[in-house]
Structure 1
Amino acid sequence: MIGEIIVFIITYFLIMVRPWKLNEATGALIGALLMAAFLQPHQILEALGFSTAYATPLVNTWNVVLILIELMVISTFLDDYGFFEYCAVKAMHLAGGDTRKLFTYTYAVTCFITAFTSNDIAILTLTPIILKFCRRAGLNAKPFMYSFFFAANIASMFLYIGNLTNILIGDAFKLGYFDFTAYMFLPTMAAIIVNYVIFYYMFRGSMEASYPVADDTHAGALIKNKAMVAVGLVVLAFVLIGCGFANWLLLPLSIVTTVGAIAIYIAERKPVLRTKRISWRVVVFVISLFIVVKGLEVSGVNAIIGSFILSIVGQNPVYATFFISMASAFMCNVVNNIPMTAMMVPITSSIAMTPEMALAMAYSLVIGSNLGANITITGALAGILWIECARIEKWSTGISEFIKIGLTVTPIVILASAAVLALEILLF
């Protein structure tokens, strides 16, 4: 057990501190290679989602990774043809030079784009757009950058495929695709509204200036090819609806996303370009972390954590909802949200003895794994991507400042979301 824990700590250090200019993917890969020394070959296969003669994994990792890759294909396609930039600039025009309206519209557009793609995609595409506009219009970027980042992590709770962690949880707990959205709609809306109200009050003094609308780019001109954007939107709609039917038929969701990605490749006929646009660093990062977390599971660490949680919440779904939502959110900032989710899924599913407890555990993990990214920059891959994209545009924020805002806002947002979820579980 000691060896596995040491490897986990080394991996965390390499990902968060990134010595010798290592990126997060390289750090995770080094950790996976070190952890492989403590694992049997069949355990590595199980970590990747393949059944062996010894065990059937709770999560089909290969399915999750395929979905991640293929959603990147669809999302980068829409981004490259200007759809996301069009949405952002359209919101800026609708605000009519009113900075506070622009704050509201930016928040709303971020929630919309994230809800139907993913938080990572929204962050990668909107960060440079928002910073360039703020610089051109002479606006303080801080309110917009914080509100859009927090909104992206909140809105990703809405859909089964809105975040990689959602897919892990849904896959492990066998959640229905449409049931997921039905349960998470109100908790997500509660989080969106509470977070918006707090931020609007917090940043109201920085949003008094107006901005010149006439100097901005014409929104319609940002669409580079209307036919291609139409194809992308049709494919996206197909994936969002088709995944529901695949889930109902007990088929891997990657079947649907694969069809969608193939349609994009056929329509565009630029396979090399589209494949290069996939963030392969993220893929390596995710696969490596699954192997690292498998080492903790095999070592017995998971069993110890499970016993501790059970001693606190028992089989009370309300206690479980609040405890798991808050605890998992803070754990994200100790181990990052992806390994936290991969580690907590088998723990929470094994101690849930009733249907109500299983629901409480599953959806509370969704809340924690998404909102935990808003406590510190390193709480999730999204934060690392956000700050790196921002630095390219020569904007940054202090880690202490982010933590101060995160600790002020996020616990309140988590409590609001968890309260709505607990009420749903009790009533329905």
Structure 2
Amino acid sequence: MAPTGLGGQVRTLRRMPGMIGIMFAESVSVAALAVVLVCAVVRPFRLPEAVFAVPAAAAVVAAGAIPLADVREEAARLGPVVGFLAAVLVLAKLCDDEGLFHACGTWMARWAGRRPGRLLGAVFALASVITAALSLDATVVLLTPVVFVTAGRMRVVPTPHLYAAAHLSNTASLLLPVSNLTNLLAFSASGLSFTRFALLMAGPWLAAIAVEYAVLRRFFAADLAGPAAADAADTGAAEPEPPELPLFALVTVACTLAGFAVASAAGIDPARAGAAGAAVPAVRALVRGRLAPRGLVRAASPAFLAFVLALGIVVRAVLDNGLGDVLGRALPDGTGLLPLLGAAALAALLANLINNLPAVLALVPLAAPAGPGAVLAVLIGVNIGPNLTYAGSLATLLWRRVARHHGHEVRLREYTVLGLLTVPAALLAAVLALWAGLAVLGP
């Protein structure tokens, strides 16, 4: 018995270097992800997120947590995501230069009058349509400045309307495959047509938006009560004339939107449509001397794009070092109401832990064998769930940057409390609507 026991000990000792290496890779991956997410939320010394994310990605590669071949694969997979994001950011900057933000703010102020509650309804309507049709990044980058302009003209507290834009950039992105990058990934795995996807998600889209509106109206009741106060200089003043219609910007946005829809339906990378949409006003601005090439580069926010790539590499390392197996065991199996709720809840939790884009990359392949219903439940979780924390989605991080740029500091406690009130209720309403839609329309 002694030799056998000794041989077993020898074999254990021989395996220890490999076991230690695995544990080291897991520890480095988890630590790197924690650093990236915490720094993305806190932003020490107001440094860009990439300052922390890029070294973290280099650390997981150096530690052997992810092979270089997988790094190249992840970069290739996220390349269209980064291209799409860059195109939207550039397009937003060019539309701003064309006066679209100013015009929209004036139109909203004229429609809302001096009633903050009516302005909230206008923000909800506009944000829901823009998010569904033009993507959540367009809502964050285009609509948030509009809200600031409009709230300033009306002399109302901007906070309720800013939170509406932030929440709807996630919640209202459920409707179409082109509404969110997560939707595009889920759409390709669901096996659904463009029209069927929209039909199945119409109910969850409407249900989630209704919950958001009810909660925000209640949460900000004091800020929305009564008309806005007018300055003495404004008393009796004539209502300002509407600004000149920024026709070029509107046509460009409309054509880009059509390009997104056509490209998605045809199986073409939507980043190409985004690049084409940004190229037309970019060339126009360069030819007219309104913008220098350096300005275009700044508009694309290279540091933020580097953050996206680095985050994807770090998350891939975490998934490959154990998280993927854990998720496979945790994801409920089936398309009944309880499994759909479980899948959405797991997806929402994961989105807040590792960001919604990596979450959908991790969960959609696991959910696909159960059918399109399970994939759509995961999508509901990763789209609504990020309203709980700053780090839940790239759109929320962008929204916070836009808010700070306009001098508005978002309070973490207020953001979190509002998320706790909206996310569970919106998830429940959306999944119930999905379950009903599957029962009526079939998977």
Unpaired runs of at least 5, structure 2: 1-25
Per the alignment, residue 361 of structure 2 pairs with 342
Q: Does 1:302 align with 2:324?
A: yes
Q: For 2:178, give the aligned amino acid.
A: I
Instruction: Provide the residue aligned with 2:266 in structure 1.
Output: 246
Instruction: Trace 1:138-157 onto structure 2 (pairs within 5 A).
Output: 138-157=155-174
Q: C-alpha separation between the residues in 2 aligned to 1:107 and 1:149?
A: 10
Q: Could you list the per-position Cα deviations for residues 104-149 of structure 1 after superposition, in whole angstroms to 9, with x for gaps in the alignment?
A: 1122122222222232332233334323443443322232222232
Matched, 1:413 2:433: no
User: For 1:48, which of 60, 65, 75 is the aligned residue?
Assistant: 75
Q: Distance in 1 between matches of 2:238 and 2:421?
A: 36
Partner of 2:50: 25
Q: Does residue 1:286 correspond to 2:308, yes or no?
A: yes
State, as a whole percentage, how many aligned pairs show the same letter: 24
Deviation at 1:31, TM superposition (A): 1.9
Distance 1:172 1:285 in 2: 26
Deviation of the 1:173 alpha carbon? 4.3
3-state SS of the aligned residue for 2:243? helix
Task: Count matched residues.
Answer: 403
Alignment of 1:105-144 (within 5 A): 105-144=122-161
1 CA distance for matches of 2:318 and 2:29?
6
Question: What are the superposed Cα offsets for residues 193-250 of structure 1, whole Å, 9 maximum, x if unpaired?
Answer: 12112222333332223235858764324x4x53x22441342243133224422xxx
Q: Distance in 2 between matches of 1:10 and 1:294?
A: 15
**Structure 1, 132-141 or 186-195: larger mean CA deviation:** 132-141
Is 1:168 the counterpart of 2:185 in the alignment? yes
Structure 2 match to 1:331: 350
2:341 corresponding residue in structure 1: 322
Q: What letter is aligned with 2:406?
A: E
SS in 2 for 1:156: helix
| Contact 2:343–2:378, Cα closer than 8 Å, also in 1 | yes
Aligned partners of 2:128 and 2:168 also within 8 Å: yes
Superimposed CA distance per residue, residues 357-389 of structure 1 (whole angstroms, 9 cap, x where no aligned partner): 331232122212221221123322333333333
Q: Tell me which amino acid in the other structure corresponds to 2:354.
A: V
**Closer/same/farther in 2, CA of residues 165 and 285 from structure 1, 3 Å limit:** farther
CA distance in 1, matches of 2:404, 2:81: 30
Structure 1 residue aligned with 2:78: 61
Question: Does the 8 Å CA contact 1:235/1:263 hold for their aligned counterparts?
Answer: no
Q: How does 1:73-84 map to 2 (within 5 A)?
A: 73-84=90-101
1:279 partner amino acid: S
Distance 2:55 2:227 in 1: 49
Q: Identify the range of structure 1 (388-397 vs 264-273) with the bigger mean alpha-carbon deviation.
A: 264-273
Task: Confirm or deny: 8 A CA contact 2:174 2:183 kept in the other structure.
Answer: yes
- In structure 2, relative to structure 1, the CA distance for the partners of 1:29 and 1:343 (3 Å cut) is farther
User: What TM-score does the superposition give when structure 1 sets the normalisation length?
Assistant: 0.84
Amino acid at match of 1:182: L
- The reply on whether 1:210 has 2:223 as its aligned counterpart is no
CA separation of 1:397/1:299 partners in 2, compared to 1, >3 Å: closer, same or farther?
Answer: closer
For 2:38, the equivalent position in structure 1 comes to: 13
Partner in structure 2 of residue 201 of structure 1 = 218
Give, as a single letter, the amino acid of the residue that structure 2 aligns with 1:288: A
What RMSD, in angstroms, separates the aligned Cα atoms of the two structures? 2.7
The one-letter amino acid of 2:387's match is: N
Larger Rg over CA atoms: 2
How far off is 1:275 after superposition?
Answer: 4.1
- Distance in 1 of aligned mates of 2:319 and 2:401: 32
Q: Is the 8 A contact 1:29 1:288 kept in 2?
A: yes
8 Å contact kept, 2:191–2:372: no
Alpha-carbon distance in 2 for matches of 1:22, 1:174: 42
> 1:348/1:9 Cα in 2 relative to 1: closer, same or farther (>3 Å)?
farther
Q: Name the CA distance, whole Å, in 1 between partners of 2:394 and 2:317.
A: 21
Write out per-residue CA displacement over residues 314-343 of structure 1, whole angstroms, 9 at most, x where no aligned residue.
Answer: 324433321122222232222222332333
Superposed CA deviations along residues 20-68 of structure 1, whole A, max 9, x for unmatched, are: 543222222222111222222221122123xxxxxxxxxx332333233
The code of the aligned residue for 2:243 comes to G
Is the partner of 1:48 in helix, strand or coil? helix
